[in-house]
Chains A and B, each alone.
Chain A
């Protein structure tokens, strides 16, 4: 799992684009031998800024592979925020992003 984030501030609003590399297996797909591929999908993605959770996404298998989320919030250029992601197998990823 790898998180990529672009965050740009304009007129006090930070536009953050999150792209998380993740297979998002539904658990309903079969491999070429006919065995079910176990589900592996993101469950939560959160964005924390200045000790406050700005945004907390809960998702299931209905989100596309390599999930993309775009979200905006009030923030200041040069400061940074943190993005945390977790999946149903317990794998987590974290990224600190500076607002441009």
Chain B
């Protein structure tokens, strides 16, 4: 046997320490902010960069609340609620904005899958909410008419 008793125990100790370090890392690996996803020129590219090739299905369990007419495109209140179990993330897209991805919210196990925020819309467009749950993208959409655009320039 080439391995001595002493080196065996020393290795065992080291690997135990290694395991302890590994298990102290949070169980969810949070992705870093992704510039590419936010500068993608169109909706399909933005979805693909964010979620890869996950299938997209329309769902009644995703509730998207947005005004039918927004007088000021600079501030459009949006509420997205997911009634799906295991909701991992909620993202908001505006296809006609210069960068279609507005925001992506990654949710931990203790959070309630309901987000309220305010977004910008350059012109009249659809607002799309995608909820990632159980390896699928659940979609809800609504058209918002914008009277004054809010993207400047």
Contact = CB atoms under 8 A, between A and B. Distances in A.
Contacts of B37: 58
A92 interface: no
Interface residues of B, number: 39
Nearest to B115: A71
Contacts of B45: none
A79 to B, nearest CB: 12
Interface in A40-69: 43-44, 46, 49, 52-65, 67-69
Contact of A53 (B39, B74, B108, B116): B108
Nearest to A60: B38
Q: Is the interface of A mostly helix, strand, loop or mixed?
A: strand
A8 B10 CA distance: 51
**Which 5 residue pairs are nearest across A and B when measured between Cβ atoms?**
A62-B102, A60-B38, A29-B152, A70-B116, A72-B112
Given A52-B108, A55-B111, 9 more contacts: A26-B153, A28-B151, A54-B111, A56-B105, A57-B105, A58-B33, A68-B117, A73-B111, A75-B110
Interface of A: 13, 26, 28-30, 43-44, 46, 49, 52-65, 67-75
